[in-house]
């Protein structure tokens, strides 16, 4: 699904990622953990194509294609989905308009006709129910005036409708209370499938109580310093990050 080899990235001439290696197979859930400033968000941004980052070396191959060569929207149409840490408010563009624009862009990319208006509405309403959202949300401007939990739920709604193959979740648990965290996690779990992979970037272990990862990687100072199974997250919860950072140094 995704193969990252020796990836190095600069921001304003400062090296942030210092040689990342990661193999993600279909159906796997990988958690990327690490302290603040370790490069976690940089990794998710570079994979989704955000500007302001310079790739100085290495590669990221997604389904056999050079991911880093693609424009952000092409990555999205090819099935890469970034769930934002801070979803952006877009006044004047309704949720349902954006969903329709996004879904039809994907269909067009794959040579399919536009989705039928009735089928689309049925699909969207089904997903809205699944995430325990109010249908009124569909007609409100994207994220405008939404609470933190509503914004995250909205990200999962988009994910459920666009059906990506690789979901990159950037600090999804930040700003969520326990009820919202449960709903969001249930949403993510319902989307797990043998064909869909997840990269969960998170500072805390608590999200992993709800979404069980197959692999946990610890990012420190721009490198993956330790990889293991779900139990590694518990160890981190116990001991913090400093022992790993010392080991790496």
Beta carbons within 8 Å of 109's beta carbon, 6+ residues apart: 74, 77, 78
Candidate list 11, 55, 90, 234; residue touching other proteins; CB under 8 A: 90
In Å, what is the CA distance from 196 to each residue of 48, 95, 168, 219? 16, 24, 11, 23
Binding mask 110-149 for other proteins (x = CB under 8 A): -------------------------------x--------
Using the contact rule CB under 8 A, the part of the chain among 95-103, 171-179, 183-191, 229-237 near other proteins is 95-103
CB nearer other proteins, residue 88 or residue 249: 88
Candidate list 53, 62, 81, 215; residue touching other proteins; CB under 8 A: 81
CB nearer other proteins, residue 85 or residue 185: 85
Binding status of residue 73 toward other proteins by CB under 8 A:
yes
By the 10 Å C-beta count (0-12 exposed, 13-18 middle, 19+ buried), 19 is classed as middle
CA 57 to CA 19: how far, in whole Å? 8
Q: What is the DSSP string of 201-232?
A: EESSSTHHHHS--SEEEEEETTEEEEEE-HHH
Closest of 3, 47, 46, 50 to residue 23, by C-alpha:
3
Minimum distance from CB of 77 to other proteins (Å)? 5
CA 224 to CA 247: how far, in whole Å? 12
Binding mask 98-117 for other proteins (x = CB under 8 A): x-xxxx-xx--x--------
Candidate list 60, 68, 82, 232; residue touching other proteins; CB under 8 A: 82
Candidate list 88, 118, 178, 249; residue touching other proteins; CB under 8 A: 88
SS3 62: strand
CB nearer other proteins, residue 49 or residue 222: 49
CB 166 within 8 A of CB 62: yes
Where does this chain bind other proteins (CB under 8 A)? 48-51, 71-73, 76-77, 81-82, 84, 87-88, 90-93, 96-98, 100-103, 105-106, 109, 141, 158, 162
């Amino acid at each position: 699904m995704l193969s990252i080899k020796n990836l190095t990235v600069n921001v304003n001439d400062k090296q942030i990622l210092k040689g990342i290696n990661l193999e993600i197979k279909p159906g796997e859930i990988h958690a990327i953990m690490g302290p603040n400033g370790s490069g976690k968000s940089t990794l998710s941004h570079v994979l989704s194509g955000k500007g302001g980052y310079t790739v100085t070396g290495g590669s990221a191959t997604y389904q056999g294609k050079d991911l880093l060569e693609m424009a952000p929207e092409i990555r999205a149409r090819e099935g890469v989905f970034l769930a934002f840490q801070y979803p952006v408010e877009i006044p004047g563009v309704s949720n349902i308009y954006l969903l329709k624009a996004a879904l039809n862009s994907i269909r067009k990319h794959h040579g399919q006709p536009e989705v039928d208006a009735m089928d689309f509405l049925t699909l969207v309403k089904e997903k809205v129910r699944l995430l325990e959202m109010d249908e009124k949300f569909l007609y409100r401007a994207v994220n405008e005036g939404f609470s933190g939990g509503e914004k995250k739920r909205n990200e999962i709604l988009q994910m459920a409708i666009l059906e990506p193959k690789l979901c990159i979740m950037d600090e999804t648990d930040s700003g969520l209370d326990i009820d919202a965290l449960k709903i969001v996690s249930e949403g993510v779990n319902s989307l797990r499938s043998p064909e869909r992979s997840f990269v969960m970037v998170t500072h805390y272990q608590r999200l992993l109580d709800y979404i069980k990862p197959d692999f946990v990687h610890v990012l420190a100072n721009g490198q993956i310093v330790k990889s293991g199974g779900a139990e590694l997250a518990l160890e981190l919860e116990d001991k913090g990050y400093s022992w790993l950072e010392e080991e790496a140094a």
